Structure 1
Amino acid sequence: MLPFLGGKMLDLLIKNKEQVYAHTSETKPKETLEQHLDLTMHYFEKIYNEKNLSSIEENFIKLFNNPLMFKELLRSAIYLHDIGKVNVDFQILKMDNKQFGKNTMDKGEHSLLSSLIYLDYYYKEISKNKDSDSLVVAYINAYVISRHHGGLSDISSFQESLQKLLLMNKDNKNITYLLLNSIQLDEDKLTSIYNIVKKRISAYSEDWENSIPYIYARWLYSVLVACDFYATSHYLYKEVEHIGVIDNPQQWQVQYEKTNLVQSIRNQNVDTMPLNKLRTELFLEVEQNAKNNLNELLYYLEAPTGIGKTNTSINLAMQLLNNDSTLNKIFYVFPFNTLAEQTYNALKDIYNDEFDIAVVNSITPFKEKDTAEDAPDYGSILLDNQFLHYDMVVTSHVGLFDILFGTGREQTARLYQLCNSIIILDEIQSYKNIIWTEIIGFLNMYSKLLNIRIIIMSATLPYLGKLIGDDSIVKLVNDRDKYYNNPLIKNRVKLDFEMIGEENTFDALNEKIAEHEQQEKKILVEFINKQSAYDFYIQLKEMNFDTEIVLITGDDNKFDRRAIIKKIKKSDKIIVISTQVIEAGVDIDMDIGFKDISLLDAEEQFLGRINRSCLKENCIVYFFNLDNLRLIYKEDLRTDKLLTLAEPENRQYLVTKNFDTYYDKVLEDLLIENKSCNDRNVQDFLRNKVGNLDFKKVEEKMQLIDNINMIQVFLARKVVVEDGEIDGKDVWEQYQQLIDNNQMDYAKRKVELSKLSEKLDLFIWNVIEFDKSYNEQIGGIYYIEDGEQYFEDGKFNRKKLTGDDFELL
């Protein structure tokens, strides 16, 4: 801590500091402002040391052109974040402070006042040195201080708010009554500061350098909010002891190395199965390339489906973790919650309960750590989830992007946990490619500034570095063709494109399936539209085949999904009708496949479900063309007919696995789009949105999934689970009670709601249209007591509820 921070600094700024309070409690004495600020700095030091933030700080100092006062400005921004609580009206209204008279017109706002006091104090210091880089940092810090009780918005509105506060201060002396010195800033000086800051920020504007102030502001916001939360929690509940860092990397590696699979690889004792030999070669090649490039930040892991990328990536994380002492956390990030759950289970098979691993998403209960207490420590459980106090976090792409680009307080507050971490990103290219340039550009800058190792892995991985002119991203596989053109991979499935031109697709499918149904075969039919899958399932069942027919879509709950997959694995003869959920890492091994064409990436993912073991013969996949791809993937350039299997030339890319040539065409189109005179222009986005710190606009641009006004409908029915039955009526009643219980402690309610979320998910469907009568409504959820009426043969009939026949997955 800098020597002037603490009581001495308060003595320089305010009078009667012992009379100024920061928090109150029904069970404890009021906390003084000085006590709270000191606690905040205590937690800053804790985070700074445990998360190794010194290197992060040096990165920002260097990229901000070495501001003379950076370190002081950073620490005092943390310390002075609540100095605005000297507002007498805040003391009267919020602290019930009897030492002051009646409040005036002010509502007791303090965050904006804190930022004004901070900026006023440092403007005087910075002006002496004529250090414009320090002024930029001070202004950004002041903005962050002003927002620490809310979300991030845009910095131009901050300027307007400061001007209004100055005017208000002229009429209401209560606001700054407790300050020893009056505010020296006026409207003209504020305008001058703003203009200098904007001009100086524009000087950083060399392509992706625009993002330096943006990422810095988000990082500081995260650290500040965490320190403030921890200090407040310390006062109200107890000390925050653990923030979730790996302090024993060797134990993680030793535990991993003890697994039978890794032991067999190390001892060169892999069984004679050819595919396992290929998996071993990939494992060892990636490991060696990682060891040769330990100081790099971004890595590409491209390998065919079913060849062991998950195990290889775990080993890769262990290698990086144990060769860089600054790294202290691992994030595993997936496109779907089902994949997250599946990988979590695989990780738990390796690591016992002594290793702190948690799934963090909207449908998984908050993790409860073992304690000596009899009753759950709800405050700690909630805080752990809010700030990711786990050594390893398994989450979704959407969850990660909320941290990187979201504007909400809880979303952004988690960002500091990414510092000095390893992030394993699976299938990131599966999202709309219209923002691929922005995705790789931001990942590149975040990795440089926050010292993050990012591993991007996929079976069909375009070299996204081309979009930002960066060829330094490490390819962990030297010769991809060694794996893709290996006969085991290349020849495991024969491809047939003749059905693509069929007009009556259902009839053609029925005929071809009938041919294969006579054999002992496992058949998989994939649609890109839920309703099409459902309609074909109903039609196929009417054909009375001597084979069991099952349907699996995104409408199935996780228990049904598990039961269906278990049945598929046990069966020698079965017909599976599905949507693209079957591509999401589902470990099944089918004989015959039929697929509605979509993106080339999805076609390859689907092929990974056919002859996955590479031990079968005469396996074949037929492609057909039924539903409109553009209705699903909207702006994605890969929906252009010239880039799908509808164009005969593209079929060879899938046959030969020559995805590089295919993606060269896609990236070429993207580079043209990046320069277009519209909202897709990347330079305009960087200069006018990112460079101007318009956090809301950046969040909007970086949405992985386009916002559609979905309606949530709770369909009460009885659902069979692994250990019994769950009645939707009971779950809804529990939900009602939790929502209505105003006497329950906030932390306890949030934890109990998280426990219930897993059950709620069994009964909630998202629909685009809904005009049916309902029994009750809580928030945005409509409750229908007789939910069973919308199901046939145990499957949700979407048309019955909405009349809409189009839904993805």
Structure 2
Amino acid sequence: MLLAHIRNSDFAEQSVQTHLEDVSLIARQYGDAVDLGAHAELAGLLHDMGKFTQHFTTYLKNAVFKQEVSRNKIDHSTAGAKYLYDNYYNKNALQNYVIETVGMAILSHHSGLQNFVQLDFKPSDYLRRVTNEELPHYSEVVRNFESIKGNAERVKALVEEATNEFREYSGKIKPLTKPIVYLNLMQKLVFSCLVDADRTNTRRFEENEESNLSKDKNVFRDGYNELIAQVSKWEHHQVTPINQLRNELSENCDQFADEPSAIYTLTIPTGGGKTFASLRYALKHAQIHHKSRIIYVVPYTTILEQNAEAVRNIIKQPDAVLEHHANVLDDDNLDDEMDYYRINNHKQLQLGRDNWDYPIIFTTMVQFLDAFFQKGTRKSRRLHNLTNSVIVFDEVQSVPYQHIELFNTAVNFLHTVGNSSIVLCTATQPAVDKMDLPIVLEDNTEMVPNLSETVEAFKRVSFHNKVEPDGWDTDQIGNFVEQLIQRLDSVLIILNTKTAVRKLYERLAEHKEAYAVHLSTSMCPAHRKEKLTDIKHKLGNEKVICISTQLIEAGVDISFESVIRSLAGLDSIAQAAGRCNRNKEVETGDVYLIRAKDEHLSKLPEIRIGGEVTENYILSNPQYADHLLSPKTIKRYFTHFQAQAKREILKTPKGLDYELITMLNGSFASKKRPQTKSTGMFKTIERYFEAIASPTTGVLVPFGEGKDIIARLNEDIQDHALFNQLMKQAQQYSVNLYDHELQTLGSENLITPLFNEAIYCLNDKAYNEQYGVTLEGKAALDNYTF
């Protein structure tokens, strides 16, 4: 018997044929959700065809029984793609697309997607491999595969079925702008189905777990019933004008849930109960239209943490909600199956990592974009689970400008092809349907009726323009705060940089009349959560001064008497205003706009441009300055912001002379006639794509339970379930650091690698109890109380 895997725990064997059949069935289920079941099944049936050799079986046995792992990698991923190409290519144009789509998924399922077109126009990764006449053991592979009754016939039937699927698919995307984009994304979707099916079957075999693809269909029904019970309580016990407005908005969303899948906008003013209203829509719509999951995509982890907890409390099903932050475990380089035997325990742990197969998921915009465009296989395997879902993009205006076209195409794809219902949710709705590559919005897709009147009804603050040409330095801002706190009980100050926040905090920390607190992403989530809890307990009982970065602006349910906001985009100003007089505790709260002198925004172009547009086109014109949050003002702001950003923000990644969208829409390939029907340049896109301009690394910090997690990770952990549990807990005790910060900490011996440098942790000297990570290494002394 020729083998695909040998289980380490009991040496049970899985034959190649069994693995191929099992993977093809799982992939079929994934693909059927988007009418690409034959594509996915065909990819599953052939993906490990190259293991049909005695050579590979011998390799496995040597690795498991003798601990002898050859350094010469065995190419088992090309054979299936070559078999399709040799037998079915150049029959007709539609079938060629199928062969290329499935073949690319097969030959890429460990390395990550390759190119159909190269930057230098040399023979592509795909053609070079499928036309390789010297592929080792290929004749033996074909002979062994075809000797099993039904294999060859099944391939033929699936090719025919997939060709019909592709014909239907082509008609579906034809009305879209640049349909070639959606052909390329379809190929990535088939790849995702295959990779997840392969990893899932391998994990089940390793853990001796029976297949269980059934889902609890009652999560959405039971959650909706709990939500409606909460609405009923509010209607009877919390009757205030603002709560009545919030209930009316959630009722509108409830009514929209009956409508077919579409891309909707939900423009709810800050403090309008956006999370509750969108959840009400999502739970009901998911029931009625048989959606597989509900996914919230948010810009910041602070929103993720609070909103996920709020949803758990509403639906009374904590285990149904997954929080997915940035990964603490750096396993990007462990995608190749050969590493499974070299780094066995670590690889097993990776195979059990989450693939977003949960009823309700909270993740970040970075993770969403990475599922489409990041390198490797680990993140791509999640892509298919974004289909047939309800996806709520919270604070959609926060999409990085350089990736706006990639984002828009992903949204169109998930709705038109993926059968997902999309909600673009924000208080400041950008004109997504007016961009160069727009999101396709149908008529009457705004969930909030009479938007201008609704915004006016939610008005709770007055804005005061104190922006001066030279700006205020730290002492001037501190003096102004001290003046305010003499007559008020709470003031929130939001600045644009962590350095400015920390400097102002140090200026105000010794204030005798108020509790001063610092908030920034230099603090781990558990630390921020603890500080926010302290603030909420103290508000109304003692004077509070909070100095924060913009992390507090969105999703944090908190209310201050007054807010000071350093000049930024109108969308940020609107969010800041949402932390002032949130529940209309008084008739009108005060929001002061200033220019902070100590901020350096040269590396933050979107914040800089946003502030310039706000100052030059909004605050300078009384027609708009007197109605800062009106839909008319918001529209004017985004019109000018997009025009200036287009002039000043480069969309070409560092080291590349072309925008990434040109490698997805076929315009780069059109420079020279490609040798394949497909033109996707996946490998190049993934090489240069970065969801954020300066990528970061998650580092464990010694705060609270983080100290215990670090200590346990210093042990030799064999139990992968325990390891995964620790990794999930570690997300609350990690901070994302830039490369230069890692280098500084490393030079001072303040950071320690674990698991062959796959995980990093800080020592006590590098984490301060007041403001988090400190590069000076003096935190241990600062933390000491005499």
Name the CA shift for 1:671/1:592 in 2 (closer, same or farther; >3 Å): closer
Name the CA shift for 1:72/1:540 in 2 (closer, same or farther; >3 Å): closer
Equivalent of 2:765, from 787, 800, 805? Answer: 787
Name the CA shift for 1:42/1:773 in 2 (closer, same or farther; >3 Å): same
The residue correspondences of 1:463-612 to structure 2 (distance < 5 A) are: 463-467=431-435, 468=437, 470-472=440-442, 474-486=445-457, 489-490=458-459, 492-542=460-510, 544-569=511-536, 570-572=538-540, 573-612=543-582
Paired with 1:345 and 1:245, the residues of 2 have a C-alpha distance of 22
Corresponding position of 1:225: 195
User: Secondary structure at 1:621's aligned position in 2?
Assistant: strand
Residue 679 of structure 2 aligns with an amino acid whose one-letter code is N
Paired with 2:75 and 2:82, the residues of 1 have a C-alpha distance of 12
Name the CA shift for 1:317/1:206 in 2 (closer, same or farther; >3 Å): closer
Residue 613 of structure 2 aligns with an amino acid whose one-letter code is L
Answer yes or no: is 1:22 the counterpart of 2:4: yes
Paired with 1:502 and 1:417, the residues of 2 have a C-alpha distance of 50
The residue correspondences of 1:193-212 to structure 2 (distance < 5 A) are: 207-212=177-182
Corresponding position of 1:14: none
Residue 228 of structure 1 aligns with an amino acid whose one-letter code is D
Paired with 2:731 and 2:71, the residues of 1 have a C-alpha distance of 47
Paired with 1:442 and 1:427, the residues of 2 have a C-alpha distance of 17
Deviation at 1:206?
7.2
Paired with 1:232 and 1:712, the residues of 2 have a C-alpha distance of 27
Deviation at 1:422?
0.7
Equivalent of 1:320, from 274, 278, 285? Answer: 285
Q: In the TM superposition, what whole-angstrom CA distance separates every residue of 1:724-765 from its partner, at most 9, and x where no partner exists?
A: xx583x544322224xx5xx25x3464254155247527989
Equivalent of 1:687, from 659, 666, 687? Answer: 666
Paired with 2:316 and 2:594, the residues of 1 have a C-alpha distance of 46
Paired with 1:105 and 1:513, the residues of 2 have a C-alpha distance of 64
Contact 1:434 1:637 survives alignment (8 Å) = no
Corresponding position of 2:300: 336
User: Secondary structure at 2:260's aligned position in 1?
Assistant: coil
Paired with 1:153 and 1:688, the residues of 2 have a C-alpha distance of 18
Contact 2:613 2:637 survives alignment (8 Å) = no
User: Secondary structure at 1:333's aligned position in 2?
Assistant: strand
Contact 1:22 1:36 survives alignment (8 Å) = yes
The residue correspondences of 1:322-471 to structure 2 (distance < 5 A) are: 322-325=287-290, 327-353=291-317, 356-362=320-326, 385-467=353-435, 468=437, 470-471=440-441
Answer yes or no: is 1:36 the counterpart of 2:34: no
Task: Out of 75-84 and 624-633, give the one that drifted further.
Answer: 624-633
Equivalent of 1:255, from 208, 214, 225? Answer: 225
Residue 686 of structure 1 aligns with an amino acid whose one-letter code is N
Deviation at 1:782?
6.3
Deviation at 1:259?
2.5
Q: In the TM superposition, what whole-angstrom CA distance separates every residue of 1:8-55 from its partner, at most 9, and x where no partner exists?
A: xxxxxxxxxxx432222352453322222222234345x25xxxx546
Deviation at 1:158?
2.6
Deviation at 1:408?
2.2
Q: In the TM superposition, what whole-angstrom CA distance separates every residue of 1:456-498 from its partner, at most 9, and x where no partner exists?
A: 1011111302224544161112321111122xx33x2221112
Deviation at 1:409?
1.4
Q: CA RMSD in A?
A: 4.0
Task: Out of 603-612 and 580-589, give the one that drifted further.
Answer: 580-589
Name the CA shift for 1:565/1:679 in 2 (closer, same or farther; >3 Å): same
Equivalent of 2:711, from 710, 728, 733? Answer: 733
Could you tell me which runs of 5 or more consecutive residues in structure 1 were left unpaired when the two chains were aligned. 1-18, 61-70, 182-196, 366-377, 804-809
* TM-score (normalizing by structure 2): 0.79
Paired with 1:250 and 1:336, the residues of 2 have a C-alpha distance of 25
Paired with 1:151 and 1:379, the residues of 2 have a C-alpha distance of 17
Name the CA shift for 1:251/1:648 in 2 (closer, same or farther; >3 Å): same
Task: Out of 523-532 and 669-678, give the one that drifted further.
Answer: 669-678
Deviation at 1:331?
0.9
User: Secondary structure at 2:18's aligned position in 1?
Assistant: helix
Corresponding position of 2:693: 706
Contact 2:569 2:607 survives alignment (8 Å) = no
Residue 604 of structure 2 aligns with an amino acid whose one-letter code is Y
Answer yes or no: is 1:666 the counterpart of 2:641: yes
Contact 1:243 1:388 survives alignment (8 Å) = no
Contact 2:564 2:594 survives alignment (8 Å) = yes
Deviation at 1:588?
1.4
Contact 2:699 2:735 survives alignment (8 Å) = no
Contact 1:256 1:262 survives alignment (8 Å) = no
Name the CA shift for 1:346/1:168 in 2 (closer, same or farther; >3 Å): closer
Residue 546 of structure 1 aligns with an amino acid whose one-letter code is E
Paired with 1:541 and 1:775, the residues of 2 have a C-alpha distance of 26
Paired with 1:794 and 1:676, the residues of 2 have a C-alpha distance of 38
Name the CA shift for 1:28/1:333 in 2 (closer, same or farther; >3 Å): same
Corresponding position of 1:110: 76
Name the CA shift for 1:381/1:297 in 2 (closer, same or farther; >3 Å): farther
Paired with 2:288 and 2:429, the residues of 1 have a C-alpha distance of 26
* TM-score (normalizing by structure 1): 0.77
Deviation at 1:795?
3.3
Name the CA shift for 1:356/1:179 in 2 (closer, same or farther; >3 Å): closer
Residue 636 of structure 2 aligns with an amino acid whose one-letter code is T
Residue 468 of structure 2 aligns with an amino acid whose one-letter code is I
User: Secondary structure at 1:165's aligned position in 2?
Assistant: coil
Contact 1:83 1:117 survives alignment (8 Å) = no
Paired with 1:79 and 1:404, the residues of 2 have a C-alpha distance of 24
User: Secondary structure at 1:399's aligned position in 2?
Assistant: helix
Name the CA shift for 1:636/1:689 in 2 (closer, same or farther; >3 Å): farther
Name the CA shift for 1:451/1:637 in 2 (closer, same or farther; >3 Å): farther
Task: Out of 778-787 and 425-434, give the one that drifted further.
Answer: 778-787
Paired with 1:749 and 1:336, the residues of 2 have a C-alpha distance of 28
Paired with 1:755 and 1:97, the residues of 2 have a C-alpha distance of 31
Equivalent of 1:158, from 121, 125, 145? Answer: 125
Paired with 1:118 and 1:303, the residues of 2 have a C-alpha distance of 51
Contact 2:328 2:759 survives alignment (8 Å) = no
Percent identical pairs in the alignment equals: 20
Paired with 1:698 and 1:628, the residues of 2 have a C-alpha distance of 33
Task: Out of 528-537 and 400-409, give the one that drifted further.
Answer: 400-409
Corresponding position of 1:8: none
User: Secondary structure at 1:456's aligned position in 2?
Assistant: strand
Paired with 1:684 and 1:339, the residues of 2 have a C-alpha distance of 33
Residue 477 of structure 1 aligns with an amino acid whose one-letter code is V
Paired with 1:90 and 1:463, the residues of 2 have a C-alpha distance of 55
Paired with 2:347 and 2:226, the residues of 1 have a C-alpha distance of 32
Paired with 2:712 and 2:281, the residues of 1 have a C-alpha distance of 44
Could you tell me which runs of 5 or more consecutive residues in structure 2 were left unpaired when the two chains were aligned. 118-123, 148-165, 330-345, 670-677, 780-786
Name the CA shift for 1:136/1:95 in 2 (closer, same or farther; >3 Å): farther
Equivalent of 1:214, from 181, 184, 196? Answer: 184
Paired with 2:108 and 2:663, the residues of 1 have a C-alpha distance of 26
Corresponding position of 1:300: 265
Deviation at 1:212?
2.4
Paired with 1:409 and 1:402, the residues of 2 have a C-alpha distance of 11
Name the CA shift for 1:644/1:684 in 2 (closer, same or farther; >3 Å): farther
Answer yes or no: is 1:83 the counterpart of 2:57: no
Q: In the TM superposition, what whole-angstrom CA distance separates every residue of 1:301-323 from its partner, at most 9, and x where no partner exists?
A: 00111111111101111231232
Contact 2:601 2:608 survives alignment (8 Å) = no
Name the CA shift for 1:138/1:159 in 2 (closer, same or farther; >3 Å): same
Deviation at 1:675?
12
Paired with 1:248 and 1:799, the residues of 2 have a C-alpha distance of 49
> How many residues end up aligned between the 2 structures?
702
> Which structure is larger by alpha-carbon Rg, 1 or 2?
1
Paired with 1:380 and 1:784, the residues of 2 have a C-alpha distance of 26
Contact 1:433 1:636 survives alignment (8 Å) = no
